Amino acid sequence: MADEPLLITRPADGVVVLSNNDDPLNRMSLEWVAAMSEAIDEVAADDSVRAVVITAEGTTNFSVGMNLKQLGPGIQAAGSIDAFFDERLDLIHRIETMPKPSIATLFGHCLGGGLELPLGCTFRVAAAEGASIGLPEMHLGSTPAWGGSARLAKAVGTTRALELILRARTLTGPEALEIGLVQEVWPVEELRDRAVAFAADLAAQPRLAVRAMLEALRDASRRNLDDLLAAERAAVHATMGTPDAAEGMRAFLEKRPPRFNQD
């Protein structure tokens, strides 16, 4: 297990945890990217998985970003620098567009790729203390390369994103919560358990309805109201008459909690 770049566990019904196993730095190594790519494909195709937590081992750092010593070999293996970056962009895109919600835990250093990948997740939760969250590539004379600038602008607005990127600023967990970059903040020792509980709440919701809403609201900030209303109507039709819809109505009439995803 110590040699595995990625640890995969199922701590709750419908929940899978994918954990970077490179404590304390939790670098996004070539081996980790390959393992994550395979795991995301499997998770996306597995109907028993209804929510995903993306985290890292230990409580020191979520990730300091890619292993820079592997940059040269990685580019050579991919064939070009663009192909190398595209592999990482593709991984994040597949996380972003898979038909089930994902939650990233941000603690310690969450820098470069250590923020860019969480930006592709549906939700992010952060440590109340000790987190350093940002895209500091300006200090390296460079710019974000794994979609960080685009997704950060979508998450917090263009002006705020530019201010953070151009000044190479890092945020604490509470600061990230204040600008809407994360949805919850918890003590670092509770963060993983809280993320699993969050994921369990999502996993308990009707699977088809969750999938329909993820699809309906994808890229909502760039779509007009008529398009979003049409997507909502499509979601309504996709969930009408399903076993979960029938169970939800029965539970309401019987004044009890619904029991979804029993099929």
Q: Which residues are catalytic?
A: 116, 137
Rounded CA gap, 181 and 232, in Å? Answer: 25
Rounded CA gap, 25 and 22, in Å? Answer: 6
* Strand order, beta sheet including 132-134: 109-111, 132-134, 170-171
Report long-range pairs for 178-182 (Cβ below 8 Å, ≥24 apart). 180/155, 180/156, 181/124, 181/133, 181/152, 181/155, 181/156, 182/106, 182/124, 182/125, 182/126
Reading the block at residue 8, the tokens are 């995969």
Q: How far, in Å, are 174, 206, 215, 255 from residue 202 at the CA level?
A: 23, 9, 15, 21
Sign of CA dihedral 178, 155, 16, 105: negative
Q: Which amino acid appears at position 216 of this protein?
A: A
Q: Which amino acid appears at position 242 of this protein?
A: T
